[in-house]
Amino acid sequence: MTQSRPPPLEARRKPTRRAQRWVPILTLLCVVAAALYAVRNDAQPTDHRPRKFWRHEAEISVSASDPILGQVDAFVTLVAFVGFESVESRSLNEILRAVAEEYGPRQVRIVFKHAPHPAFLTALRCHEAAEVVFQLGGSRAFIAFQNLALENQGFYPHPAFTEEDFPRWAQLAGVKEGEFEQRFHAGDGQKKVKADLAQAQSLGLIRPRAVFINGIHAAPTVKRKELTDLIEAQLDAAKQLVDAGMARSDIYVELTHRNYRRQPPPPWSRTSSPTRTMTPPPRASATPEHPSQDGLQ
């Protein structure tokens, strides 16, 4: 039995015209992809810091899990640590709403962080409810819920609201009451509230309420004039970076890195590292060895 031989080369099937038309198209796509890759590498920011810094969170990190008012690439970012039981936070919230209306979403964005006092259970639960509202309805629903909580405060430290008010406020904020109650009682808001409190502590905040303007710390009792002066200065700095070729999305990281490092460490902190751990001041001894220095703290 004889084995069949393969056909000669000239008799083999040649590629069709349709297949031949795809060759230059695929070649062109490869050339374009290589050119875009080269341009992307050349466009990476040149800086003395490691390249990973530009992909890392800022010293005061913000993310998609935070409620915001404004655009993500705004020139100035205000990070507000708010406590619903705090009268200071209520005044600060009014100032922030006025600032947002004055400057608009492209110039100023406000990022809200949970900062209830852990000793007040009702306020803590209110923040957990607000987080559930944010998960269900987004930033607009969260801000509406927050405004209701701050407007219905009692006398500090005893808020006038109770847990019975939370479903009604959630419904007014645009969230379905049944879905809210299910997720609220399941504890879906606890993790984020604890994370924000831990972040406040890592920033060295003994009293967790505060506001940061591109990394510049300001007390919750800041006046509107002082706040607008800080915003104007940061607007000028941000526009200089844009004129120098920096992308708007990188402005917050860069300015926060500059401003936060320049600030002196708080008096209760023993370190000046960018992530400061809260260290309370030393207590005086019950029987001091030097009576003349007793009571100086």
Give the pLDDT confidence of 44-80 residue by residue, as tens digits: 433 333 333 333 467 888 988 999 999 999 999 999 9
Q: Is residue 109 part of a domain?
A: yes
Residue 165 has which token pair? 């008010």
Q: Is residue 295 part of a domain?
A: no
Cβ atoms of residues 200 and 210 within 8 Å: yes
φ, ψ (nearest 5 deg) of residue 142? -60, -45
What is the radius of gyration, based on Cα positions, of the chain? 28
* 24 in a structural domain: no
Q: φ, ψ for residue 259 (rounded to 5)?
A: -70, -40
Q: Find, among 116, 100, 136, the residue nearest to 228 by Cα.
A: 100
pLDDT of residue 12: 52
d(CA 76, CA 236): 10
Q: Which two tokens stand for residue 203?
A: 């920033």
pLDDT in tens, 145-168: 999 999 888 655 556 788 999 999
Q: Is 53 a domain residue?
A: no
Residue 7 falls inside a structural domain = no
As for how many domains the chain has, the answer is 1
Which stretches of the chain drop beneath a pLDDT of 50? 41-56, 265-297
Q: How far, in Å, CA of 203 to CA of 60, rounded?
A: 8
Q: Could you tell me the residue range of the domain that residue 176 belongs to?
A: 68-262
Tell me, yes or no, whether 100 lies in a domain: yes
CB count within 10 Å of CB 192 equals: 20
Residue 190 belongs to domain with CATH number: 3.40.30.10
Read off the pTM: 0.69
**What does the pLDDT read at residue 170?**
95
Tell me the backbone φ, ψ of residue 107, rounded to 5 degrees.
-100, -35
